[in-house]
Amino acid sequence: MEIIQTVQQLQQLQNRFKKLNIGFVPTMGALHDGHISLIKQAREQNDVVVVSIFVNPTQFLEGEDLETYPKKMEADSKICELCNVDYLFAPEISTMYSGDEVLIKAPNIRGYTLEGVKRPGHFDGMLQIVLKLLNLVQPTNAYFGKKDAQQLSLIKLMVDNFFLNVNIVECEIVREEDGLAMSSRNVYLSKDERIDALSISKSLKYAAKQIGSGELDCEVLINSMREIMNKIDIEYVAITNRKFEKIEKIELGNSMILVAAQVGTTRLIDNIWI
């Protein structure tokens, strides 16, 4: 008999039995170039690629756009085909949820700041569906974009906390030519709103430039960003460390600048990792 006291020993035992690398890209569909970059990365790094499309009801709050969230199954399926996806998992809601369920709760500190304040319960539902999907697909690598920075951080935390045997791959934000971060919700924007929305990425770029010139004071950076975004309805501009704790001075390699704003009726988020 062997006595095991570390996680590493246990996982080594399991990896002995694994044969193929599975890459997994979970999405809510309405695939855009951001998703495609994730899928391509998964394709390059794995033997088998699984994409899921599921608009998860439990991560939408009352009054959010669950009903109107863009659905493009035919086009999405075609995109996956063209990207050489092996399996597209597109379950019904009743496949993923039953009645009275065991629930997930975002962590007390990191889960209730920024998006966690603005969208209470959103992360609980997001973590719930990601846990379900990771358990179902059992991927070697799972791909998530940095645009949903807090989501990505909480998923990594959940993977650590629950000892999920998966590698979370952090993928760079993909932007339109003019700088707007790709989002399935961009289709909601009118022509004028589209122009106003650009101020988000512009403000982030400007902050990065200022930091490059040696400005590390977060208050100064945030004020100049707010000025650039003066035409849109800012929800928050925050500068934090990688644990989403607010900081006063930029720590290079450990900081993030995060923005959420309403442009017309569309809620957009963007960020930059410093």
Q: CB burial class (10 A; 0-12, 13-18, 19+) of residue 114? A: buried
User: Which CB sits closer to a copy of itself, 86 or 176?
Assistant: 86
Q: Which H helix or E strand runs over 27?
A: strand 22-27
138 near a copy of itself (CB under 8 A): yes
**Token digits for 223?**
């004020």
User: Is residue 21 a contact point for a copy of itself (CB under 8 A)?
Assistant: no
Site mask, a copy of itself, residues 163-182, x = CB under 8 A?
Answer: xxx-----------------
Nearer to a copy of itself, 155 or 261 (CB): 155
Q: Please tell me the distance from the alpha carbon of residue 37 to that of residue 82, in angstroms, as a whole number.
A: 13
Residue 75 as a binder of a copy of itself (CB under 8 A): the answer is no
Residue 154 touches a copy of itself, criterion: CB under 8 A: yes
Choose the catalytic residue: 32, 35, 132, 267.
35
Euclidean distance between CA atoms 86 and 107, whole angstroms: 34
Q: Which is nearer to a copy of itself, 29 or 267 (CB)?
A: 29
Among 103, 117, 187, 220, binds a copy of itself (CB under 8 A): 103
Does residue 35 carry a catalytic annotation? yes
Contact 31, 72 (CB under 8 A): yes
The DSSP code sequence of 248-268 is SB--TTSEEEEEEEEETTEEE
Q: Using CA atoms, how far apart are residues 139 and 141, in angstroms rounded to an integer?
A: 5
> Which of 21, 40, 61, 107 lies at the binding interface for a copy of itself (CB under 8 A)?
107
- The answer to whether 110 contacts a copy of itself (rule: CB under 8 A) is yes
Residue 220 near residue 231 (C-beta atoms within 8 A): no
Residue 93 binding a copy of itself, by CB under 8 A? no
Return residues touching a copy of itself (CB under 8 A): 1-7, 10-11, 13-14, 17-20, 77, 80-81, 84-92, 95, 98, 100-111, 127, 131-132, 135-138, 154, 157-158, 160-165
